[in-house]
Structure 1
Amino acid sequence: MKAAQCTAYGPPETVRVADVPAPALAAGQVRVRVDVAAVNYPDVLLVAGQYQLPVEPPFVPGSEFAGVVEAVADEGTGVRVGDRVCGTAMVGAFAEQAVASARSVTPVPDGVDLTVAAAFGVAHRTAYHALHTMAQVAAGQELVVLGAGGGVGLAAVQLGALAGAGVTAVASSQRKLEVAKAQGAAVLIDHREGGLRAALKEALPAGADVVLDPVGGTLTEPALRSVRWGGRFVTIGFAAGIPRLPLNLVLLKGVQVTGFQLRDLAAHVPEPFEANEERLRALFTAGAVRPHIGAEFTLADTAAALRCVADGEAIGKVVVRVTDEGNTEQ
């Protein structure tokens, strides 16, 4: 099969399409013919050898996909050959075939494009659980979303507005902010114009109830300073670097600072996790939430797709179209 392969750690351009053996099917797994895969920032880190859970080369990167089930290792999993599914795996999505745990794939609702399904899972699940399982955002509260032009950030804007929060979107360009506005952001701040702390103070004089931070770097401290007494700050990732924070801010403001990783959540808080998974699936099935797909690439151009995400050029989700059938609806 054809796959985008990482044979040595490095920049996105080290990823090359090659003929590789089809992945073996192990107990509890399904094999999926991948129609569309989506790019996430951890894919870039894995290729660079900078992810906290490294994978030794050679490997096929890609953690999110949608397609049609071709084989099932075990009966009784509820997954059948021919099912349209979307799913996640640590690696392997940027290929014509991928294997994943049967528990990590879910049916794609009838009428939903496979491209939309591929782009939905990681970003919207991350944003939904950060907002609801961790921050418990509520209608009428003020939400600040850093990195509001990216996949997780834009999903958080959409979901925060849907929850009835007032959303302040912080992003690195006016193009990204215009998309965030279309997704429900009420206040738009371009942090590259400087003075983020002052801009947040002007926009939210009483302070933010919740801040979601998938960016880190120099944006974290001024965003933390914008939180009202007793507010919540959820750190999701560090695309701009790991910040060092003066903890006196946390003490003086009584702020709850929470770290969030989607892969760990089910094990630690299974009941709210499953309840919120069900609520998000219902919203998706009903068409109430949809990912914004900012760019599409072919499998041959996987390195360019990774570069787009690595450089922060992506608006919403970037997808890799593996076959010509990824736009098929049923």
Structure 2
Amino acid sequence: MPRAVVCRELGEPESLHLETFESKPLEPGHVRIAVRAAGLNYPDVLMVAGKYQHKPPLPFIPGMEAAGDVTEVASDVQGFKVGDRVMVKPKQGSYTEEIMVTPENLTPMPSTFDYAQGATFFAGHGTAYYSIIDRARIQPGETLLVHGAAGGVGLAAVELGKAYGAKVIAIASSEEKLAIARARGADHTLLSGQPFREQVKAFTDGRGADVVFDPVGGQAFEESLRCINWGARLCIVGFLGGVGVAKTNLVLIKNASVLGIRAGEAMRRDPSLAGPRQRDLLRLAEEGKISPNISHRLPLEKWAEAMRLLIDRKAIGRVALVM
């Protein structure tokens, strides 16, 4: 029987349970997937703790991303067949060995990816794409400043910035992480926790960054306001370092825009955004220009250890559960 990690009470990752379950008959309009890998995202940790904006009823299976093989297709479903390698995008429920979804939750996996890469692609790269391409509209030759550049979303921003012709300045917390950012295309790298205003200005001949990608917040956001170019766009993606305070005079003086980013909610409100984004990401993946950097691959039964890697910020890029 297939297994799944189940949340029956809110709390720490160790409070989850590994359980077996009976496979249900395939429902009309659905596809059955043998899950080969599941991607971990920080919202999974928050959801299990009851601290995320989406609060599914108990019990539930965590996980927003997976990849695997199609094993059964309902007679009324077109476009997929048994044996297809697919990426799966359920709202939750990917920490499992088997899942049933409707076709709109499936995407053929790039030929360049293994299952773990397929399971960690869309959440990180989709958020980065929506931020710097859809919202900030980065242009070739502009400078992109990426905070948290060794995280899954940060590394995706580095890759996409380079793919669209930007110069990229990456900031991360260790030399090991910065080496990965350079390997993914960063032109300049800086250690976090240190002042960066003057270095950013030096890298840009005094102009400052055109686009800031910020999943960190706090002091990082506040100092970013002091090293931006005229017309800069600051993408607020998260608050791992606390909530930053915007000095509105600095925003005004530089004719800048502060953009709040909720990529998933934006797609739900306007599904027409998803098609062009998905096609572009798949094209770049097939061309070998973007792919998740997976620092840890663990078996399903080590879900708590895997989630702790995110909590303790020990991952460089992404973490996957491999079945």
Instruction: With the length of structure 1 as denominator, give the TM-score of the two structures.
Output: 0.90
Q: What's the CA shift for 1:80?
A: 2.5
Query: Kindly, what percent of the aligned residue pairs are identical?
Result: 38
For residues 297-316 of structure 1, the aligned pairs below 5 Å read 297-316=298-317
| Amino acid in structure 2 at the alignment position of 1:206 | R
Q: Structure 1 residues 79 and 234 mapped into 2: Cα distance closer, same or farther (>3 Å)?
A: same
- After TM superposition, list the pairs within 5 Å mapping 1:221-300 onto structure 2: 221-266=222-267, 273-300=274-301
Q: Which moved more, 1:53-62 or 1:260-269?
A: 260-269
Q: Which has the higher contact order (CA 8 A, sep 6+)?
A: 1
What does residue 321 of structure 1 align with?
322
Cα gap change, 1:236 to 1:22, in 2 (>3 Å): farther
> What's the RMSD between the two structures over aligned residues?
2.1
Residue pair 1:36, 1:66 contacting (<8 A) in 2 also: yes
The AA in structure 2 aligned to 1:103 is: E
Q: How many residues align?
A: 321
Q: 1:7 to 1:184 in 2, by over 3 A?
A: same
After superposition, residues 66-215 of structure 1 pair within 5 angstroms as 66-73=67-74, 75-110=76-111, 112-192=113-193, 194-204=194-204, 205-215=206-216
State the Cα deviation string for residues 282-323 of structure 1 (Å, max 9, x = none): 11123232211111111011111111011111101111002x
For structure 2, which runs of at least 5 residues remain unmatched after alignment? none
Counterpart in the other structure of 1:327: none
Q: Distance in 2 between matches of 1:202 and 1:42?
A: 36
Whole-angstrom distance in 1 between the partners of 2:25 and 2:265: 26
Q: 1:218 to 1:29 in 2, by over 3 A?
A: farther
Per the alignment, do residues 252 and 24 of structure 1 end up closer, same or farther by CA in structure 2, a change over 3 Å counting? farther
| Distance in structure 2 (CA, Å) of the matches to 1:96 and 1:70 | 12
> Please, which moves more after superposition, 308-317 or 263-272?
263-272
- Give the match's secondary structure for 1:70: strand
- Per-residue displacement from partner, 1:81-101 (whole Å, max 9, x unpaired)? 332111211211111112333
Task: Answer with 64-73 or 293-302: which moved more.
Answer: 64-73
Tell me whether 94-103 or 13-22 shows the greater mean CA deviation.
13-22
Contact 1:67 1:85 survives alignment (8 Å): yes
Give the distance between the partners of 2:5 and 2:268, measured in 1 at CA.
32
TM-score computed with the length of structure 2 as normaliser: 0.91
Amino acid at match of 2:115: L
- Segments of structure 1 that go 5 or more residues without pairing to the other structure are 323-330
What letter is aligned with 2:79? G
Are 2:110 and 2:282, in contact at CA under 8 Å, matched by a contact in 1?
no
1:235-274 superposed Cα distances (whole Å, 9 cap, x missing partner): 1222333333333332232211112222233355555543
CA distance in 2, matches of 1:101, 1:312: 34
Deviations 1:68-112 (A, max 9, x none): 123334624422333211121121111111233310210124463
Contact 2:112 2:285 in 1 (8 A): no
CA distance in 1, matches of 2:230, 2:145: 15
- CA offsets 1:107-154 (integer angstroms, 9 cap, x no match): 124463222211222111221222211111111000001110000100
Query: C-alpha displacement at 1:33, in angstroms?
Result: 1.0
Secondary structure at 1:119's aligned position in 2?
Answer: coil
2-structure distance, mates of 1:6, 1:23: 20
